[in-house]
Structure 1
Amino acid sequence: MDDIYVVCVCNHVHYKEIIDAIKEGACSVEEIMEKTKAGTGCGLCKSSKEDIAGERAIHLDEILEKAKLEGLCPEDK
């Protein structure tokens, strides 16, 4: 995913901002939302479950899952 890809259209939050928040310890969707404001508008970018029409290419929960697999979040979070 390109760093400048806009994940949250409502609050214009880029992929890199979300990754940076995760690297700084935001290891839940709620923490990412609090730190970046992504997902606090219409909510479609939070998860594919909420984005039934598939309007977003990637969602916060998917980014977080990938980050966890890459070891960006501590095991206990």
Structure 2
Amino acid sequence: MRVLDLGCGTALSSIFLAREYDVDVWAADLWVDPTENWRRVDDAGLAGRVHPRVPVRVRPPGWSLVGLTRVVAHLK
């Protein structure tokens, strides 16, 4: 299963989903640098399962689930 976690912030929700539900997660956030999230993902031992990205570059096919975490707080 593939999950797109839009507005993932520091990717903690992405790490949780990959670890607990055995899914591949594409983590995208406009405000947090993907390099910072990559370090957290690597420290969690989930490199290859969680893929931090800049949102405009997130286009893998066949999504199973799209998660919008804390995105509404940014809309005005």
TM surpasses 0.5: no
Q: Which has the higher strand share?
A: 2
TM-score normalised per structure 2: 0.30
